[in-house]
Structure 1
Amino acid sequence: MIPEHLGNLSRLQFLDLSGDFSLRVDNLEWIHSLFSMKILDLSGVDMKRAENWLHDINLLSSLLELRLSACQLVTLPKFLPTFVNFTSLRILDLSLNYFDATIPTWLLNTSHSLVYLNLTRSQVYGLLPNAFGNMSSLRVLDLSGNSLRGNLPHSFEKMSSLTGYLPPTLPSKLKYLDISDNKMEGPLARSITQLKQLVVLNVSWNSFNDSITEHFLNLTHLRVLDLSSNSFIFNVSATWMPRFQLDSLSLKSCGLGAQFPQWIQTQKELSFIDISRTNISGEVPDWFWNFSAKVYHIDLSGNNFSGEIPEFTERVCLTKLDLSDNNFHGPLPHFSPKMMTLILARNSFNGTIAPVCESLVMNNSLSLLDLSSNFLSGQLSDCWRYGKNLQGLNLGHNDLSGEIPRSIGDLTNLFFLQLQNNSFSKNLLSSLKNITGLKILDVSENSLSGNIPFWLGENLHALEILVLSRNNYDGIIPREICQLTELRVLNLSSNNFRGVIPCDIHNLKILESLDLSSNHLSGSFPPRMGELPSLEFVNFSFNDLTGKIPVGPQFHTFENSSYVGNANLCGFPVSRFCSDHLHEDMVHCSNNNQEVQAIEHEENNNWLDEFSFYISMGIGFYTGFWLFWVTLMLKESWRYAYMRFLENMGNKIYVFAAIRLKNIQAAKGLRNCPN
């Protein structure tokens, strides 16, 4: 808590408490006496309880700079209770708050000397007020990351001093234009073509639609061009050579035509390239892979590219490569030592993932690897100890086989592990319990077998999505699963589980989807199962469940298909009427626990019987062997008797063999005699 006695420092002119996100202030009444305050920065201080913050700060008539970024503010009054008092204010930063309000008019009449206004991601919405035109001294305006909509007001033309971030308009000195992540619509202002000093143009994530021509982009100082996620169509000739040299190019979801844009080859300074989802087809020209040594980010995803891709070991600056959702084929490439994100999903790559293992030995930076939905085959090499910085690994929808490598458990920073729809066998190795921060585990549609490991529930407490469906798992569903209180999705369908639904399943308070269908589960539902308030989807079909279907607000929304294949269920929504099942519900946990214990006892007994058999054999052989030889060594008469026995037995065998051999030879001689 910020101490109120700071208000005693009446001559204080500068107060900066920013950056300490552990500070809190519930009211700002103590600030009234700081008449000399000129610079106040409380960014990061928790002010969500300070409802009258504006009234208190409005008394600081000498204030020049006010920064309240990320203060968790929730109120932005539409009207001031009194006149605006801080008329000398030059810098105002209210970004990263939770106002959920329109931009009030008083904010735009705050000060004619205001040069900087930042409302980035402050949850303001609605139309841009015409009063923006009153801010004749404004040089930096950032409104990105909000829900502003409608057309741009003509009053922006009056702000001729702008040199910072500003929604598009006519000022000739404009250098930075960023209105990204809003709901602007219509064509871009034609006046943009006259902004000869423009360095940054970012209108991404809006609803603009326009035709981009060579004349439109004839801006010689432009370094950053981001038109992504709009409806722009490029209409330039194949031989066009722009007059600018870009550092960053983002044209995601723009219409670039079927041919690869050749004009990109002229941009020798590019370090960031995103031309994803632009409807380009064919092979990527060879020059593209090597035209700029500075490139660290390449995104070609969501097009119709084909052909093989080169090795990337020489691209020492490349840290992100996204080629997903194309038609690339051939073997996987080796990647650069500094690669952090490699996404090659949904292509036609084939062969093994050996190049990945070979690259991991030289790369300690890789954090995301997505090779899903290709035609990769073979066993996974046990090389993952080298990828300790991996946070995401997706190898799903391939034809990988064998056992899941033990070294995957060395990826202790992993957040998601997706190995679904392959041919992995055996069970999950216990080394995976080391990945305690894992949030998503999907190993569905494989050939995994055995019981669900208890350590899943005991160690992986961060799990939000657990999918083990379409495998060969059997045994009971362990109670430890109910310790995963962060679970949102649990899918154990299409296995061979038996026994009952765990009684403690009501502990999964935020569970949204539960699928236990197509198993051999029996018994009644747990009596507190109706206490799962977040459930949106359930499927218990094709088991052998009995008794009354749970009652609860969410269970009234599920259809009969969620319970089909359980002939002895009753209650809504199935047609079978329930008799009094109150007693059955009361004893459910007791009976179910007895059944679980019986199954566990049976499994333990089977294991113990087999184990005891082999142990007994071993002990018996060991004891008999040494008892016999120790006796011979200690008792001389037994030793001589045993030796005579062996000698006599040897003589008898020799005589028997000699006579037998003589008879065979005689018989053979008779057969060879002439008649």
Structure 2
Amino acid sequence: MTTLIVDTTIYDEGFYYHDCPNVYPKTRTWENGIDCCSWSGVTCDSMSGHVIGLDLSCSALGGDIPSQISHLSKLQSLDLSFNSGLKWKETTWKRLLQNATGLREILLEETNMSSISLTTSPFSSSLVTLSLVYTGISGQLTSHILRLPNLQNLNLAGNRDIQIHVPNLNCNTCLLSILDLSYCGIQGSIPSSFSNLTYLTSLILMSNDLNGLILPSLSNLQHLTHLDLSHNELTGLIPSSISNLHHLTHLALSFNALTGLIPTSISHLHHLTYLDLSFNALTGLIPTSISNLHHLVYLDLSRNELTGQIPNVFEMLPNLQTLFLHHNNLQGNLSSSLFTLTQLSQLDCSCNQIEGPLPDQVAFSNLTELLLNDNMLDGTIPSWALSLKSLGFLDLSNNLFTGHISGDITSSSLEYLYLCNNKLQGRHFPESIFHLVNLTHLCLSSENWSGTVHFPLFSKLQNLEYLSLSGCSSLLLESGMSVNYTFSNLRELQLLFSNVIGYSKFPGKFPVLEYLELSNNKLEGNVPKWIYGIHSLGFLKLSHNMFTSIGHQFPWRQLEYLDLSFNMMVGDISSFICNATFVKVINLSHNRFTGTFPQCLANTSSFDLDLQMNKLHGILPDTFENLYLHSLNLNGNQFHGLLPKSLSNCTDLVDLNLGNNQFEDTFPNWLQNLSYLKILDLGGNNLYGPVANLESQNMFPSLIIFDISCNNFSGSLPKAYITNFQAMKIQTSLYPYLGSETGRVYGELDPEYDNSLTTTIKGVSTTFAKIPSVFVNVDLSGNKFEGEIPDVIGELQALRDLNLSHNRLVGHIPNSLGNLTNLESLDLSSNMLIGEIPTELTNLNFLEVLNVSQNQLAGSIPRGKQFDTFLNDSYGGNVGLCGLPLSIQCNNVSQQQYPPSEAEDKFGFGWKPVTIGYACGMVLGIGLGWCVFWIGKPEWLVIIFGGTTTRIKRRSRGNRRRARATSSVQLAVAK
């Protein structure tokens, strides 16, 4: 009998691992005096009786690894995986490796090796498999480890303190076939020496910080079957040499920054079953040559910039089970070959520009998910889409489908059904909807439901968690029907744009409802009391109604988000807000609240607050030091005094809108280091002085909206700030609205604040309920800024709206403005700009509004592209301009750049004769003055000069009236 010397006091930590089918402390079967070879997890050699295998994986063990384990000198296999409570000591680890020279397999996944270094670990030459996944081991992965003569499988995933140091790796005799270094925090480029590991079959480098190009030399790995470089920062093209990897079955390059076309050479990878190129910046067409990948099971090309039509070649991919093409710019009709795929399980072509109808028949027999939302599909919804037996997820929302919903929905396995925001119509929903007992998410919102919808019927769907039902001409909440009014699992309910009947005394019960939206329903009076009884409610949105009061006894309880914007709420704001103890997001904008800023908010730890467009007044308290403030919008009230400097302590501030009040202060330079600030609106106040060009490396780096218009700022334009507007230089947002980075997907709750903004866009006052993330705006108009327009504005390539009008700017229009290729509105009017309009501005293909009127511009107006669409009022008040659309032809205009002054125009001489006359007149004037001094005011002098002086004064007043819109330089010359 062999005695295993192991301390059996290793104890149960109670850990659970999703990779373990069963978690059980195997050491509980260990008893002294019993042959250890019979213990659970212990394997002995049948001949010698020595312990050769120890498997205590998934045993929920903890404590230090006992030092006696190093005495197992004959050990060949050690598996302590998934015991995160176990901790290695360096001495125990090294002794084990030194004594057990026959160790072939070491599996220590998710044990604690934070005190162990790879660099100094004396691995045996007999080692075949080494898996140290998420152990916290550190040190360098060096060439000597990779050159271990028998090592075939090396998995170091999840150890972010590992460094790669394998220069000049010569490994012709290496047997390493699997190398997994995912989640290791590896930086820099892919080590070129990896291409010498010629026996590799699997190379996994996903989720690191790798950058640069995909090395063409990786094509030397002729035995490679699995290559995963996803979730890195790789750039450039996919090398065509990737086709040399003839045995490749799995290729994942997703979540990088790869550009260019999908190389047709990928079609030479005939054994490929898995191809993922998603979340890159690939352009061009989907190559038809993918039809050569006959074994393909999984294909993901989503989240790129692919264009053109989906190729009609999918009948050549009979094994395809998953196809993701969503979030591209694909156009045209859906390929008919898609609907011949009998093995297809998941099809997602959403968020493209695909049009046309769906086919009447399909060959799908295994389809579980069909997502075609956010396209331009039309026609009627075919019956097969609602009758596939295996279908569990169907999203056809945000298209142009018409007609009625099929009367017989037989897809009984449906859990997600989204048909909202189409042009569907009808008086009633089909009864079969209420038989889909597995439904958890249902969206039926439309604009054309003409009949009476009995809301209590939806309580039949007891598994329902999300319901969106909008656009009903008559939505009846009360009903005499004998149905169960309890919505047992409903978490989110949206009833918008409907004629709601019986909302004041609705008898339904919502025991777990968290999100309730009743916006745009013309509801009036007090907020109904049945809402008070929803104790689980955390999100309440009642905007765009006619409510006048929420009631004094409203039980705020767990409420964290409250939106009562665009109602008729009245009363003192403080008595209302100060009862909202736990609310973190409050939107009371566009109401009739009065009073001063609520002092109670100084004691609140965090909030987002929108009080814009009310009747609030007073001085803002300087008590924002201890607040986690994400958004503060007080636009359109009557606040006055100084701007509170304590806002500079709100380092998480994203949206600060204090516009259209009566603040009187200098520019708040103390806000410049708010690195997350995206919106700064101070327009329409009484702010004054220069906007200092402070020298700093991090001034407003995230800003995308900068509005300080209609104040009294002076001095030069703030060049230093403009230079540091980093977020305005590149538009990379994948999200449609500001603040939607963590937005709701299919009904999941969104805790983020819906930022709103009222601003002037293209000369029109515009209110955004949600701010589009692509809206990038700089408005410095209506001030007293002087000097020239800095060239650096041309670097803000994401700009959509630029307004520098009504200032005192001089010099030429910079040619660099032609680089603002996303610009839609440019207003430089009412300044003193000179010279010609740069022809570079014709590069602005999206420019819809141009105003350069009331300047001193001269020369011909550029022609072509957008400039052919602008009318006369874009150029008025520039007497030196000529060409279309003006009636003045350029060959009839003097070559003089500056318009002549009124004095020159009237008397026919310029500044040189005036100067000569001034000198002579000065001598005459001194003589006359000496004469008057000695003899008094002579009668003859009054007769000669008196009347002339009066006429000059009258003419001067008339000239000033006519020249009020011209520059001060012109007036000075005229006088």
Q: How many residues align?
A: 562
Q: Aligned letter for 1:69?
A: S
Structure 2 CA distance for partners of 1:199 and 1:438, relative to 1, 3 Å: same
Kindly provide the CA deviation profile for residues 328-357 of structure 1, in whole angstroms up to 9, marking residues without a partner as x. Answer: 344343587775544332223333331671
- The equivalent residue for 1:121 is 327
**8 A contact 1:247–1:272 mirrored in 2:** no
| 1:268-283 correspondence runs (5 A) | 268-278=511-521, 280-283=523-526
**8 A contact 1:123–1:146 mirrored in 2:** yes
Structure 2 CA distance for partners of 1:11 and 1:506, relative to 1, 3 Å: closer
Cα distance in structure 1, aligned partners of 2:506 and 2:428: 14
Kindly provide the CA deviation profile for residues 341-379 of structure 1, in whole angstroms up to 9, marking residues without a partner as x. Answer: 443322233333316714xx4434x4x432211222332
- The equivalent residue for 2:90 is none
| 1:76-115 correspondence runs (5 A) | 76-77=285-286, 79-80=288-289, 84-107=291-314, 109-115=315-321
| Mean Cα deviation higher: 573-582 or 91-100 | 573-582
The runs of 5 or more residues in structure 2 that have no matched partner are 1-212, 373-384, 472-495, 729-775, 858-874, 901-975
Kindly provide the CA deviation profile for residues 250-308 of structure 1, in whole angstroms up to 9, marking residues without a partner as x. Answer: 34666421436687944434334444445555543222244251x44443333444422
- The equivalent residue for 2:544 is 302
- The equivalent residue for 1:416 is 655
| 1:355-370 correspondence runs (5 A) | 357-358=601-602, 361-364=603-606, 366=607, 368-370=608-610
Cα distance in structure 1, aligned partners of 2:712 and 2:898: 35
Q: Classify the secondary structure of the residue corresponding to 1:66.
A: strand
Cα distance in structure 2, aligned partners of 1:284 and 1:418: 29
Kindly provide the CA deviation profile for residues 114-150 of structure 1, in whole angstroms up to 9, marking residues without a partner as x. Answer: 2222222132222233333312222222222222233
Q: Aligned letter for 1:95?
A: S
- The equivalent residue for 2:567 is 326
| Mean Cα deviation higher: 411-420 or 530-539 | 530-539
Cα distance in structure 1, aligned partners of 2:453 and 2:297: 43
Give the deviation of 1:407 after TM superposition: 0.9
Q: Is 1:401–2:619 an aligned residue pair?
A: no
Give the deviation of 1:465 after TM superposition: 3.7
- The equivalent residue for 2:618 is 378
Q: Aligned letter for 1:348?
A: R
Give the deviation of 1:397 after TM superposition: 0.8
| 1:112-511 correspondence runs (5 A) | 112-156=318-362, 158-166=363-371, 168-181=385-398, 183-187=399-403, 189-190=405-406, 193-211=409-427, 213=429, 215=431, 217-218=433-434, 219-228=436-445, 231-232=448-449, 235-237=452-454, 240=457, 242-245=459-462, 246-251=464-469, 255-259=497-501, 265-278=508-521, 280-291=523-534, 293=536, 295-308=537-550, 314-316=556-558, 318-330=559-571, 331=573, 332-334=576-578, 341-354=585-598, 357-358=601-602, 361-364=603-606, 366=607, 368-390=608-630, 392-455=631-694, 459-460=699-700, 463-474=703-714, 480=720, 483=723, 489-495=777-783, 497=784, 500-502=786-788, 504=790, 507-510=793-796
Question: Which structure carries more relative contact order (alpha carbon 8 Å, separation 6+)?
Answer: 1
Which of the numbers 15, 32, 46 marks the counterpart of 2:244? 32
Structure 2 CA distance for partners of 1:17 and 1:516, relative to 1, 3 Å: closer
Kindly provide the CA deviation profile for residues 48-82 of structure 1, in whole angstroms up to 9, marking residues without a partner as x. Answer: 235424x4245323x3332221132223346338x
Cα distance in structure 2, aligned partners of 1:100 and 1:305: 47
Cα distance in structure 2, aligned partners of 1:310 and 1:67: 56
Kindly provide the CA deviation profile for residues 198-252 of structure 1, in whole angstroms up to 9, marking residues without a partner as x. Answer: 2111234544445553726413222112345765557313654531143223346
Cα distance in structure 2, aligned partners of 1:398 and 1:422: 5
Q: Is 1:572–2:905 an aligned residue pair?
A: no
Cα distance in structure 2, aligned partners of 1:406 and 1:96: 42
Q: Classify the secondary structure of the residue corresponding to 1:287.
A: helix
What's the Cα RMSD here? Answer: 4.1
Cα distance in structure 2, aligned partners of 1:527 and 1:564: 10
Q: Is 1:56–2:266 an aligned residue pair?
A: yes
**8 A contact 2:546–2:568 mirrored in 1:** yes
Q: Aligned letter for 2:601?
A: C
TM-score (structure 2 length as normaliser): 0.51
Q: Aligned letter for 1:197?
A: S
**8 A contact 1:311–1:333 mirrored in 2:** no
Give the deviation of 1:185 after TM superposition: 1.6
Give the deviation of 1:578 after TM superposition: 5.9
Q: Aligned letter for 2:534?
A: F
Kindly provide the CA deviation profile for residues 1-25 of structure 1, in whole angstroms up to 9, marking residues without a partner as x. Answer: 3334443444433332221133655
Kindly provide the CA deviation profile for residues 646-669 of structure 1, in whole angstroms up to 9, marking residues without a partner as x. Answer: xxxxxxxxxxxxxxxxxxxxxxxx
Q: Classify the secondary structure of the residue corresponding to 1:447.
A: coil
TM-score (structure 1 length as normaliser): 0.71
Q: Aligned letter for 2:334?
A: L
Larger proportion of helix: 1
Q: Aligned letter for 2:589?
A: A
Structure 2 CA distance for partners of 1:230 and 1:439, relative to 1, 3 Å: same
Cα distance in structure 2, aligned partners of 1:420 and 1:265: 43
Cα distance in structure 2, aligned partners of 1:484 and 1:166: 41
**8 A contact 2:622–2:644 mirrored in 1:** yes
**8 A contact 2:834–2:855 mirrored in 1:** no
Cα distance in structure 1, aligned partners of 2:695 and 2:517: 40
Give the deviation of 1:92 after TM superposition: 2.0
**8 A contact 2:700–2:725 mirrored in 1:** no
Structure 2 CA distance for partners of 1:28 and 1:206, relative to 1, 3 Å: farther
Give the deviation of 1:419 after TM superposition: 0.9
Cα distance in structure 1, aligned partners of 2:214 and 2:714: 58
Cα distance in structure 1, aligned partners of 2:636 and 2:525: 25
Q: Aligned letter for 1:384?
A: F
- The equivalent residue for 1:540 is 829
The runs of 5 or more residues in structure 1 that have no matched partner are 585-675
**8 A contact 2:541–2:562 mirrored in 1:** yes
| Mean Cα deviation higher: 508-517 or 444-453 | 508-517
Give the deviation of 1:561 after TM superposition: 4.7
Q: Aligned letter for 2:270?
A: L
**8 A contact 2:223–2:245 mirrored in 1:** no
**8 A contact 1:301–1:322 mirrored in 2:** yes
| 1:61-72 correspondence runs (5 A) | 61=271, 63-72=272-281
Structure 2 CA distance for partners of 1:149 and 1:433, relative to 1, 3 Å: same
